[in-house]
Amino acid sequence: MNVTTIFILHGLVYAGLLFLVSSGLTLVFGMMNVLNFAHASFYMLAAYFSYSLLTWTGNFWLSLTVCPFLLFVIGAVIERFLLRRVHVFGHVHELLLTFGIAFIISEVVKWVWGTAPLPMEIKGFLSSNVNLLGVVYPTYRLFVLFCSILIGLLMTFLLLKTRIGITVRSAVDDSEMVNALGVNTPRVFMFVFALGAALSGLAGVISGPLLSTNTGMATAILVDAFVVIVIGGFGSLIGAVVASLMIGQLQSFGALLFPKFSLALIYLLMAIVLIAKPSGLFGEKK
């Protein structure tokens, strides 16, 4: 039972991290109809920013505050001066642009920080352990899970209960009408893209001490993030939650029970879902 509890918690923690990454990707696609292949590179860039800030200041909370804001600014600049110019030409141009941005970020990271993995050490109460459900479990892992739950609740409140969220959803449904009512819809879409980048940045900051800060982390998380939005349904935030939980537990118990086939289980699940419902669990049929 102790082993089962530990692996359930491991699965929940990874699901929380995966949700933070995939929620930003889902938000940008659902609101802007843009498939951003540079999203995982934002995640990696934030992890390296966090490593530098943590090395210089030793303050993890400063990294947790500053790095997502930096990615918000970077996302806003990319949308305003690059993505907006190619958006009118369709998805192919957007994919090529975001692919190019991802390669540029990857090369910049290698040039500035090198290719060797960088260890990140967390001090204070986050480095301790707690007794939970009869097992001793790292506090930092529970902190990652808490962050994902908090961000999920805040995103739901922002999109459903605030004026900004109402404006964003209205701009998605009928941008011409919203623009005629005096709302600057390009600025709204810039905010959405920047918010997606900030969510990816937050995930990058908290993943550094949990996983490993290395140049391959973007590719590793991007594959799982796209599996999440395919299973959950493109543009569905609820689908991202459910799919993240499914993949988190499947990876955790797959590594325990079928270590040689744990990665294949995720794609098997995706194939089953696509056969049963091609639009995903919560995706709309179009």
Q: Work out the pLDDT band at 1, boundaries 50, 70, 90.
A: low
Q: What's phi and psi for 130, nearest 5 deg?
A: -130, 155
Domain layout of the chain by residue ranges: 2-216
Overall pTM > 0.85? yes
Predicted confidence (pLDDT) per residue in 20-45, tens digit: 999 888 888 877 778 888 999 999 99
Predicted confidence (pLDDT) per residue in 56-93, tens digit: 998 999 999 999 999 999 999 999 999 989 987 888 88
Predicted confidence (pLDDT) per residue in 205-262, tens digit: 999 888 889 999 998 898 888 899 899 988 788 889 999 999 999 988 887 788 777 7
